[in-house]
Each structure stands twice: as C-alpha cells, then as structure tokens.
Amino acid sequence: MSTSSNNLSTYDYIIVGAGSAGCVLANRLTEDPAVNVLLLENGGSDRSLFIQMPTALSIPMNTEKFAWQFETEPEPFLDNRRMHCPRGKVLGGSSSINGMVYVRGHARDFDEWQSHGAEGWSYAHCLPYFRKAETWAFGGDDYRGDSGPLGVNNGNEMKNPLYQAFVDAGVEAGYFSTDDYNGRQQEGFGPMHMTVKNGRRWSTANAYLRPAMTRPNLTVVTHALVHKVLLEEKIAVGIRYERKGNVQEVRAKREVILSAGSIGSPHLLQLSGIGPKAVLEEAGIAVQHELPGVGENLQDHLEFYFQFKCKQPITLNGKLNWFSKGLIGARWLLDRKGLGATNHFESCGFIRSKAGVEWPDLQYHFLPAAMRYDGRSAFDGHGFQVHIGHNKPKSRGWIRAKSANPSDNPEIQFNYLEHEVDREGFRDCVRLTREIINQPAFDPFRGDEIQPGNGVKTDAEIDAFVRSAVESAYHPSCSCRMGSDDLAVVDPETRVHGISRLRVVDSSIFPTIPNGNLNSPTIMVAEKAADIIRGKGSLSPSDAVVGMDESWLERQRSGSPERVAM
C-alpha cells in the first residue's frame, strides 16, 4: 500500500512505525511541502470494524493481524508467569488497539523527566504540546486544547449510575474530587476521558495520518518488516526492509526516525549494531556503536481487578449475550451512538498511596461490569469492578535481541514487583480500594466481594493474590531513555547519542513512566519532537498553576492524616 505513485528510493525523512508517535511525525513533517517523507509500517489497514468501534477494544489487541503478540520471559517475582505484551501492528499502532483512555500523567511526572536529564521536558514545556494535540469536547483553556487533531471526550457521559457512585464513594472516603484530571489537578475522583470522536475510535491514524495521506510528499508503505538502520561510520543513511519477500534499501537525506515503540525501537537499534556490547555479541550481531542503555530501564504498569457483585441489574454483564451485542453493534453502525461508542471506562480516580508521596501513584479505572479486560471470561451475574494499579514502579527490566534475524522476537523481561516499594504499593491498592467501595455511595449496589475475596487480608495473602492475578496495563516504556548520562540513549533533542542523523521518538524515550496511560504523553512527545526536527523552536512554556495537596507530607488524602512513606 502506498499513498503516492512517487517511486523515490531516497527521502528526506524515513519514519519507522505508523503508531502513536509515527503518525504524528508523518503529519507534522509533511506540513512542509519541500520535504519528502517515507513512513514504514509492519502492519496493514486499520479499517476493521473491530478497531473503529470503541466497545470492541478487546478484539484488536488479541488479534495477530493487528498486534504483535509478545510474551515476556518468565517473570521471577510473579510466580514465573509469562505476561502478555501486545503492541500495535497496524496503521495507528497501539492507538488502534488500546483502551482509548486519555491520561496525560501528573505534572510532576514531567518535572521528574527534567530532573533525570531531559532538559526542556518539564511540565511547563510539555503542556503547550498537550494542548496543541487535542480538541477537548468541553472547550479549551490554559490546560486544554480546542483546535488539535485528537478528539477527546467522556463517552456516554456517565449515564450508568455506578460511575457516579464510584466518584461519590471516593469523596466520602476523604479524597478530592476533580472535574478534570488532565487539567489543573490530577489528584481525586471524577469523569474519565477517552480518545473517541463522533462515536469512533480516534487513533493517531484517524487524527493525524489520514489527513496527511492526501499530501503528495508522504509515502506510506505497509507490511514492511524493517531489518536494520543502515549506517556509514557513525551516520544513519537509510533503512533496509522486507516486503512480500523482497528486501529493499531506502536512503534518508536528512534523518532516520525510529517510532517503533518501546519494544520495537530498542530491538531495531540492537539489530543495527547499536546497544550493549554483551547483548549484541550474544545475539551474533556485529557491534557498530556501543550504547549500554539500549533496551535497559524498561518499565510498565501493572493492575488487577477488584470485583464485586451488583445488587441491581444495571451492569454490562447483562449485555454480553449475542442478541444484546447485535443490538449494540447495529445502533453503532446506524448512528455511532449508544454502548458501542464508549470504552466503558467513564469514571476514575488518582490518589496517593500514603502520606509523604507528593503526587498520585495509584490509578483507578471504573467499569460497570465484572469481566476480564481481554473479554475472555466474565462473572455469571451482575457485577462491577475497578482496575487498580501502583503507577510509579521502582522495578526495571530490559529488551534484548535474541539473534540477528529481524523475524525473531526479542527477549522481554520487566522484573515486575522486584522492588519492595512496588509490592507495598499493591498492598495499599487492596486496602484502600476496599475502604472506598465500602462507602455509603455503594450501599444500593454493592454485593459480595468476588475478587480478591474476603480471605485476602494479610500482607502475605495480598502478595500471593497479586502475584497470581496482576496483569499488565499494556504500558511498556522507557527502554531508550532520554538524558545525558552514560545509560541515556537519546539526548533531549531525541537524537541517538553517538550516531548522527538518527532519532528515536516514541514512549521508549521517557526517562520514567508517568502516572497514567501512555498514548497521550506519546503523542505529546511526537508533537514536541516534530518542532525540534523542523527547527521551529519549541512553543513557549506554560505558566499554568498545578493543583497539589499542600499537606502531602502529613496526610494521604484531603480529610485525614496517614502514615508517612518510607
């Protein structure tokens, strides 16, 4: 597939990966009609009904056609379980297979980036690019954008009463309420936002790539398996890729940009001979440039489902029969409305696990159903659940090429829950969530606890439950981190250290993982990087105020003091 009959074998820019970052770059770089851009994607079309219909979100991420079905090595602190790690393999990348949850992260997450050597990536520097990217359904202000490509709203506006019950319960438990966790104040309970526009998944393929594909200076090639970056001495000069059994080489006059994601980008660097010497030699890859941080510092979010029976027949468990699904699908096809037009995560919460934690490290997604995220099993009866995770992990993992063959998936090891802080965070998740769900707001709805179950109370019982039940939230990141020290892979201009004309722009360059879902900050990174690449200069830093609990050292929530973090 190509958007152009242009048969160039040389382009100004070559972008690898048409995902959350690559689609943004393809759009922004081709705004300049004087440059030619080639966008390479291993997957194919995103036109599938299962991608475009928000409620069908569990299907594309579990379909080989649309997603790399990666698996980790046995995780030593999760009872040696192999964890599922799907990544987008389709136009739009992971923005075409994800849950469409729109969370920027806390302001302090980006200040943390700057403190880790990512100069110019503080919240004040990043906020203008969050605003540039989006059109917020309720209008723009100092925090929200009103003219960007990315449509953001609240789905069905919390029509199910369970959504509001969750928000009310959080407030009854002593936490803040927040009207807009992507605005002035993240901490608290309130409506959740999603990348849906006019009832349709608003991926970066829909928001950014499709408009750019009308331009004659963009060529999109799908079903392209990239083998390596072509290097001459320490200069990136092009890409070798395979399509339909034919191996081709294309040259870049200006730059090669890797936007293959937190698994794909470090793997491609290693396949190209850029990475830790021992890893490359073990894989049989000739070392072109030793860069020890490539594939290291890997981070992810974990979560589990806290499930309860529901005393009223108002949950999505009553909509899982084929007849009800057919009606939902038919209405969506007719007018893009109803239950087909939402991801069903319409209320949420961000809280701090204990006093002494400055900004939220726990995140809630509320779902008016009791079922697995992948849709494979559901509670037999009416139920609801809240997804809860500790979002500022200390554990670190790695990505390592197994061989020089680009068809061989890399080894992936997150070392989930290796650090005691992470294990303590999940103990807090269990105890704090029970307290919230047992508030009076849930009295009309709350039945028996399904999971973890009343028998899970002590630290040892909670730890055992978490090891067996926790799942990835599908947020791999930080494996080519930005900074200036010896283990940084790219500099604050997104350029690979020691290699000219080569950049990485995607979630792999995050220095640390933000408190929230990663699609929004990935898009922001690409927006900011596009200005850097084009030499336009960054947008002026924002002076918008960040809402914080001034008493965070003394208390865990707005209403009561708690123990201090160690």
Adjacent-strand bridge partners of 241:
226, 248
Helix (H, G, I), strand (E, B) or coil at 263: helix
Confirm whether residue 35 is marked as ligand binding: yes
Confirm whether residue 162 is marked as ligand binding: no
Confirm whether residue 250 is marked as ligand binding: no
Confirm whether residue 24 is marked as ligand binding: yes
Sequence-distant (≥ 6) Cβ neighbours of residue 148 within 8 angstroms: 131, 132, 133, 134, 135
Q: How far is residue 347's CA from residue 163's CA, in Å, rounded to a whole number?
A: 5
Q: Is 497 annotated in the active site?
A: no
Confirm whether residue 124 is marked as ligand binding: no
Confirm whether residue 367 is marked as ligand binding: no
Confirm whether residue 208 is marked as ligand binding: no
Confirm whether residue 33 is marked as ligand binding: yes
Count the helix, strand and coil residues of the chain and give each as a percent rounded to the nearest 5.
25, 25, 50
Confirm whether residue 357 is marked as ligand binding: no
Sequence-distant (≥ 6) Cβ neighbours of residue 555 within 8 angstroms: 355, 549, 561, 562
Question: Are 163 and 348 spatial neighbours (Cβ–Cβ below 8 Å)?
Answer: no
Strands 10-16 and 37-40: parallel
Confirm whether residue 245 is marked as ligand binding: no
Confirm whether residue 183 is marked as ligand binding: no
Q: In degrees, to the nearest 5, what angle opens at C-alpha 140 toward C-alphas 136 and 146?
A: 60
Helix (H, G, I), strand (E, B) or coil at 554: coil
Confirm whether residue 408 is marked as ligand binding: no
Question: Are 152 and 195 spatial neighbours (Cβ–Cβ below 8 Å)?
Answer: yes
For residue 412, what are its two tokens? 């992936």
Confirm whether residue 98 is marked as ligand binding: yes
Marked catalytic residue, from 125, 227, 344, 475: 475
Tell me: cis bond preceding 149? Omega within 30 of 0 counts. no
Confirm whether residue 559 is marked as ligand binding: no
Question: Are 477 and 525 spatial neighbours (Cβ–Cβ below 8 Å)?
Answer: no
Confirm whether residue 564 is marked as ligand binding: no
Binding residues for FAD: 12-41, 90, 98-101, 226
Binding residues: 12-41, 90, 98-101, 226
Which residues carry out catalysis? 475
